[in-house]
Amino acid sequence: MKGQGVEAWIDEILSRMTLREKIGQMCQVNGALKEPEELIRKGEVGAFLNVVDPETCNRYQRIAMEKSRLGIPLLMGRDVIHGFRTVFPIPLGQAASWHPELIEEAASIAAKEASSMGINWTFAPMVDVARDPRWGRIAEGGGEDPYLTSQLGRAMVRGFQGEDLSTPDRIAACAKHYVGYGAAEGGRDYNTALIPEGTLRDVYLLPFRACVEAGVASLMSAFNEINGIPATGNEFTLRRILKGEWEFDGFVVSDWGAIAEMVVHGFCSDEKEATFSAIKAGVDMEMASQCYHSHLEKLIDEGRVPIEWIDDAIRRILRIKFRLGLFENPYVNTSRKSNLLALKYLEVARKLARESVVLLKNKDQVLPLSDEVRTLAVIGPMADRPTDQMGCWTFDGRPEDVITPLKAILEKFSRKGEVFFAPGLENPRSESKKGFEEAVRAVRKADVVLLFLGEDANLSGEARCRAFLDLPGSQVELVKAISQEGKPVVAVIMTGRPLTLTDMVEKVDALMIAWHPGTMGGLALAELLFGEDSPSGKLPVTFPRTEGQIPIYYAHKNTGRPPQQVDRMAPMGTPIDFVGFFSGYLDVEPTPLYPFGFGLSYTNFKYENLRISSLPDYRTFGFSLSSERIHLGEGLTILVDLQNLGPYAADEVVQLYVRDIVGSVTRPVKELKGFQRVHLEPGERRTIRFTLHTDDLRFYNRDMEFVAEPGRFHLWVGGSSIEGLQAMFEIIE
């Protein structure tokens, strides 16, 4: 049954439903609820969350299908954020791979594992653009850039849902948190967001629109308010943009208790008014709290809520249940062999962990470790902490499944040499230095030091916001103590966010960011350290030098007095003679510690011969080396030659950036418009091709029209946001 047939079938069910049954479909209850069977039997619940047992799921579904009056199946929701039993790197780490196809495969594996346990709906992907690393939930998304985050979101939606959502091993995705949650003031979770409409549309809404275009089944309204209106009661973003402009035909679920929280926001006087605001705005299902269950019927009786709002919500919910195939087959096949932790799943986890690692420093090519190394000191509180290695939001991962760096290094190196292990600190937050002496003794016996540092899993994720972003505990002091011994030091940082590493980066010879890399992270790191593969990750978010620079991101505006690289001192002039008066700080450089898109390799890549053309067949017509003119509605072809000059086979992420030099509203100094992950053997040379249409350059002007404007543009192709070959083109009417 498809198209109009499905809609007619939904209308037929709607015509038979009582008001209580309709409201029941709009309620999602916590799986911890005692004795929910009667609610199911009466048709007063439409979805559960956190029921993770196939027998229980089947029992609930059987009651819904066979004992309730209408036989409507249940949605079973769960946070499957970066894997189920097989845990992949946190989403911010996955974004560092710049590899959408591999991210899609990881989400597909998560769906296979989760569906085998009765889950048919997940609250992922999180596609909040986040430009403040103090915000703990930056770990759950794609970083600071709307284009990259959009690619991550699309990939995860495709992975979870597949081409046919009714396939038994697929689950419905839920793009969250709609919208502006990543712009929470001060990086404080749940906080206010003040976002001009143009920025809202150009930056924060863009990844959600990408998910809608990819067919995402549901969206989750956010906890935060946007310009004074809570996201869960925001008609502008929900009814007008999402359901109106974008014609989204799935359903919207609130975040946990977010409807009731509109009272605490000061937006609604009580939970009844919060219920009215949420349904009026377009929230179709309530998660966890009981506002809809308690107040919707009364609001309808009073004539304040038209039944059309309710029927629209039910149509959306039933539509997704049909697309999931739940009316035909709501049950889990408990007789099939478990697919948890399949070898092919672990291989994908290992590969994604390896590709997510970003090499930020490699002084004198200390990495990969030389064959001449015979003794290693493995130091640091993150070397052997399986739970922390998995990161936040890993309800179903198990520490006994995790391969830690220490375990992997011992297995790989034991036949070749000797490993001396000393954690130095009891845990990542420990202030005690009583383990330093043992660590220093291990260092003195070693040729090279491998130092594993970072955040424990509980320092990132929801409500895990930090005012200071340095390494916690006495880790910086541990780095200083180790570095004084004069041995080559390789630091590997496991973290859920960018950290301010200024105090330690000069004291180590090599620096890797491994994020929280998941089940296979230790093996992936060992393979990189020993040169079995080359690091290829690129930063999806800027690393600041200090918290005082925040927010700092590559796609900033230029201002009338852009930052300058000068000696940090008081301005040399006066407000009248303003030598040195520019946008910046007296006490810190205007540049980040490490920029967006940056990441080193064990080899060297050479970019050359950038050329652009408005003509599709460059073999016949040739290319301009400097500039090109195109009309609105046309496109550019961009070519660049890339060569691997070094001795290692490696991947490079080739990045395309554009700047609209003059706009009717000012535009960022750079915007990512494309990227490609390219594998090159030593000495190999390849021509990389991009296409760029004028539609890719659209933005919302001062009248909120989505337009591309005539004018001149700069274009860069390179290996990060701060380097690359440059060209210019012009759009004419």
396 is catalytic: no
* Tokens (6 digits) for 436: 């330093």
Query: Do the strands 711-720 and 723-732 form a parallel or antiparallel pair, or are they unpaired?
Result: antiparallel
Give the span between the Cα atoms of 339 and 75, in whole angstroms.
22
The number of angstroms, rounded, from the C-alpha of 704 to the middle of its chain's C-alpha atoms is 27
Judged by phi (left if over 0) then psi (alpha if -120 to 50, else beta), residue 731 lies in: beta
The residue among 618, 611, 498, 630 whose CA lies nearest residue 554 is: 498
Helix (H) or strand (E) holding 47: strand 47-49
**For the residues of 104-144, what is the DSSP string, one character each?**
HHHHHHHHHHHHTTT--EE---B------TTSGGGGGS--S
Secondary structure of residue 600 in the 3-state scheme: strand
Look at residues 213, 199, 198 and name the one whose alpha carbon lies nearest to residue 153: 213
Q: Tokens 């070397």 — which residue?
A: 383
Element housing 463 (H / E)? none
Question: Which residue is it, tokens 């809609």?
Answer: 7
Element (H, E) at 154: helix 146-161
Task: Give the dihedral sign, CA 551/554/560/562.
Answer: positive
218-221 β-sheet, strand order: 174-178, 218-221, 251-254
In angstroms, the CA 165 to CA 155 distance is: 15
Of 709, 697, 647, 706, give the one whose Cα is nearest residue 673.
Answer: 697
The CA-based dihedral angle spanning residues 80, 289, 61, 12, taken in that order and rounded to the nearest 10 degrees: -110
- Look at residue 172 and give its three-state secondary structure: strand
- SS3 string, 197-221, reads HHHHHHHHCHHHHHHHHCCCCEEEE
DSSP 667-690: --S-EEEEEEEEEE-TT-EEEEEE
Spell out where 149-276 has E strands.
174-178, 218-221, 225-226, 229-230, 251-254
- Distance from the Cα of residue 284 to its chain's centroid: 25
**Which amino acid does the sequence have at 141?**
G
Range 459-492 burial, b when 16+ CB lie within 10 A, else e: bbbbebbbeebbbbbbbbbbbebbbebebbbbbb
Give the residue from 290, 300, 204, 286 showing the smallest Cα distance to 252: 286
Catalytic residue among 79, 255, 388, 660: 255
List of residues 6+ apart from 588 with CB closer than 8 A: 545, 546, 548, 549, 568
The residue ranges of DSSP E strands in 568-620, in sequence order, are 605-613
Residues annotated catalytic, as ranges = 255
